[in-house]
Structure 1
Amino acid sequence: MISGAFNRFISLLTGLFFIVISAQCQLVNSGELHVKDGTILYSAFLFENRSSGRVINDGTIVFLSDLVNEGEFAFSTAQNTGIVRMEGLSTQNISGSSQFKFWNLVLNNSTDFNLSNDLEVSGVADFSSGIVKAALPENVFSFGVGGSSINSSDESFVDGKVGVQTDREILFPTGDEIYRRILLASPIRPNEQLSLRGRYFFEDPGNLYPRDQTAPNIILVDDAEYWELENLDDEDSEMNLTLSWREVTTPPFILGDINKLGIGKPRRRGF
């Protein structure tokens, strides 16, 4: 019955099998798994794509448990139809040593996601519910050229690095602990592409960037939060940046005349 059910939904399926370890089920792919457009695959167990495994998703895969990738996990670039839905009822781990490449991604978990791998979204990432917490600083939630996000909020954002490759304005769905904080970036020159990594910190930047050595025209510096933005291009890139402020994170002494607010770039000795 299991084989028949899978054959109805999946066009190509080799090397996929269930195993039971300590009374816990998991779904393992060591061959090739191709989910066609218009079809659906549900995985209620831990899903592991091994180093020899290849997953091409042009349909919809719903993961209710953890996800591990050691091989290839991608979509057909000619179709751009694949959807991965992470919809667990408890914390879901997204791990492995090989990057996940999704077209569309839906994050919908009442708890959180632990990210200990890299992933890239080239379509739309829908932050419905659940915070993505990066296990290590080098774990990156990325957007390919044309990728974007929707619905990020205090209930769902990335607590870690967000990478982007973009030729237009893009929102970084970043945050720290319990608050999402907006960062927008776009290239100034037409047809120019930016390659950036950004992260928000809800903490005092003073330990890294001393405030006692600021430029004369800077009166006050936010002492409760900051963003780090890394340019991955070999040459300097001109860009438009937009940051936001919130009463729950931004100190009262910063809020006031918005015409006096600006974005400061730290130097080796202060701002």
Structure 2
Amino acid sequence: MKKIIISSIIMCFVIAVKSQVASIGSFYVSENTLVSVYEDVLIKDYGAITNDGDLYLFKNFTNKGKFKFSNNKVTGYTSFVGNDNQTISGKGTSSFMFVEFDNTSTDLAFNLDKEIEINGTTFFENGIIEVSEKGIVTYLNGATNIGVSNKSYVNNKAQKIGNESFTFPIGDYQSKTFVPRTVTISAPLSLSTIFFVAFNWEKANIDFDKKEEDIGLIDMNEFWDIQNKSNDELVNLTLTWNIVTTPEDVYSDPSKLMIVRWNGEKWIKERENIKIDASNKSITAKVSGYGVFTLANDKKRGTIDSVIDFSTSNSFSPNNDGVNDEFVIPDLAEKYPKFKMKIYNRYGSVVYSYSNNNELNPVWWNGKSQGKLTLTGDTEVMPAATYWYVVDFNDEKTKPYQGWLYLNK
């Protein structure tokens, strides 16, 4: 899209800079001017760059002063491009009209260590934007983004100021697997509303057994932290499921999907304005509050809690020393002889699936994968890591249980 826009502009002045740029007074890139900078850019604390033209930055960008565009113009393209990792840092204000990220060096091509503001369109081409604790991408009213893919997105947080609906171009990664997991909110009423959204593909320190009665299997693999930082207005929220990050048992029947939120004490179901779009793998609901969200289904069976103490079964070490070589849940087979159990890795893939048929000596998990999507197969023990499991007691009266275990080598 950006290439189409630029090709329509007659470039009448081209500058190529091959030394560090220090903006002492002011540096102005006018319309119809293309400037390419092949070394680090430094804007000093009393300096400023105004970009109304087309600025290509091939190395690091440090702004201690101001980076802006003219208020009366809808021009100014800043392109972070190249083949080496780029850092965007500095304490100064950085306000972009249009910005492109296109760096093919690595997946984590950009290190964002400051806040940047986007007024127009962000063009995602290549390179993940790794956001530090101090960094944030802030989208203002009128801002949009295109091209989000597993090659380019913001990892893992962004914020939006304004009264428009917006899709946050965020995602996360694990072990070189990069996945965008966008979030969409409906339009708030106030122009000054600030929404913060973060996505985390990891274990959450939350009790998954505390939930409303009609919530079944909860997605324990991915979480969206969504906050309205301005007021109490409630909006519609759209989440998606993904075959890489979302366990198949959660979305296998889209009609049973739900959005759930941790309210500080238990998981609750968002019940208003529900819309499920299976073709786009999305579900929408009006939120009843803010905090941590994820997906779940309503396959819940049973109304009572189990009598098993799961706290005694949270780790094992399959190293063939004859001690704790299998993941065993004491008393489970005796008290629930028809139990079923599934164990998932951190990608949401099933590594163990078992149905007990009145056996007093079940086939407990030995740490080797039964799944098709794991690299170790059934010959090698899975990596030392945290896994999560679901026990279906299969007696039509006891509620399923979800928990974590640690495979230790």
TM-score by length of 2: 0.58
Residue 147 (structure 1) aligned with residue 146 (structure 2)? no
Deviations 1:30-56 (A, max 9, x none): 211111111111110000001000111
Deviations 1:213-260 (A, max 9, x none): 112221121111111112111x21121111111111101221122222
Taking the aligned partners of 1:160 and 1:29, their CA distance within structure 2 comes to 31
Alpha-carbon distance, 1:72 to partner: 0.9
Worse-superposed segment, 261-270 or 102-111:
261-270
1:200 touches 1:228 (CA, 8 Å); kept in 2? yes
Amino acid at match of 1:182: T
Alpha-carbon distance, 1:157 to partner: 0.4
Residue 197 (structure 1) aligned with residue 196 (structure 2)? yes
1:187 touches 1:194 (CA, 8 Å); kept in 2? no
1:9 touches 1:40 (CA, 8 Å); kept in 2? yes
Pick the aligned partner of 2:67 from 41, 65, 73: 73
Map of 2:208 onto structure 1: 211
Taking the aligned partners of 1:89 and 1:78, their CA distance within structure 2 comes to 34
Amino acid at match of 1:101: S
Q: How does 1:162-173 map to 2 (within 5 A)?
A: 162-173=158-169
Map of 2:152 onto structure 1: 156
1:73 touches 1:101 (CA, 8 Å); kept in 2? yes
Deviations 1:128-183 (A, max 9, x none): 111000122x4111111110100010000001321112322211110102111121
1:28 touches 1:48 (CA, 8 Å); kept in 2? yes
Map of 2:110 onto structure 1: 113
2:162 touches 2:188 (CA, 8 Å); kept in 1? no
Q: How does 1:176-191 map to 2 (within 5 A)?
A: 176-177=172-173, 178-187=178-187
Q: How does 1:245-264 map to 2 (within 5 A)?
A: 245-264=241-260
Taking the aligned partners of 2:31 and 2:69, their CA distance within structure 1 comes to 10
Map of 1:56 onto structure 2: 50
Map of 1:13 onto structure 2: none
Alpha-carbon distance, 1:268 to partner: 1.1
Taking the aligned partners of 2:54 and 2:191, their CA distance within structure 1 comes to 33
Amino acid at match of 1:268: G
Greater relative contact order, per chain length (Cα 8 Å cut-off, separation 6+)? 1
Taking the aligned partners of 2:203 and 2:266, their CA distance within structure 1 comes to 14
1:194 touches 1:237 (CA, 8 Å); kept in 2? no
Alpha-carbon distance, 1:60 to partner: 0.8
| Structure with the larger strand share | 1
Aligned pair count? 247
Taking the aligned partners of 2:241 and 2:37, their CA distance within structure 1 comes to 40
Pick the aligned partner of 1:236 from 232, 235, 238: 232
2:163 touches 2:188 (CA, 8 Å); kept in 1? no
Runs of 4+ in 1 over 3 A off after TM superposition: 191-194
Residue 96 (structure 1) aligned with residue 90 (structure 2)? yes
- SS at 1:254 equivalent: helix
Map of 1:133 onto structure 2: 130
Alpha-carbon distance, 1:77 to partner: 1.7
Amino acid at match of 2:196: R
**Structure 2 gap ranges (5+):** 1-12, 268-409
Worse-superposed segment, 113-122 or 216-225:
216-225
- Cα 1:259–1:166 change in 2 (3 A) is farther
Amino acid at match of 2:194: S
Amino acid at match of 1:125: T
1:224 touches 1:249 (CA, 8 Å); kept in 2? yes
- SS at 1:262 equivalent: strand
2:164 touches 2:188 (CA, 8 Å); kept in 1? no
Q: How does 1:8-47 map to 2 (within 5 A)?
A: 25-47=19-41
1:187 touches 1:193 (CA, 8 Å); kept in 2? no
Amino acid at match of 1:75: F
RMSD of equivalent CA atoms: 1.8
1:139 touches 1:160 (CA, 8 Å); kept in 2? no
- SS at 2:197 equivalent: strand
Taking the aligned partners of 1:192 and 1:148, their CA distance within structure 2 comes to 16
Taking the aligned partners of 1:61 and 1:75, their CA distance within structure 2 comes to 11
1:157 touches 1:175 (CA, 8 Å); kept in 2? yes
Taking the aligned partners of 2:14 and 2:155, their CA distance within structure 1 comes to 35
Alpha-carbon distance, 1:188 to partner: 6.1
Alpha-carbon distance, 1:192 to partner: 6.2
Q: Percent identity?
A: 27
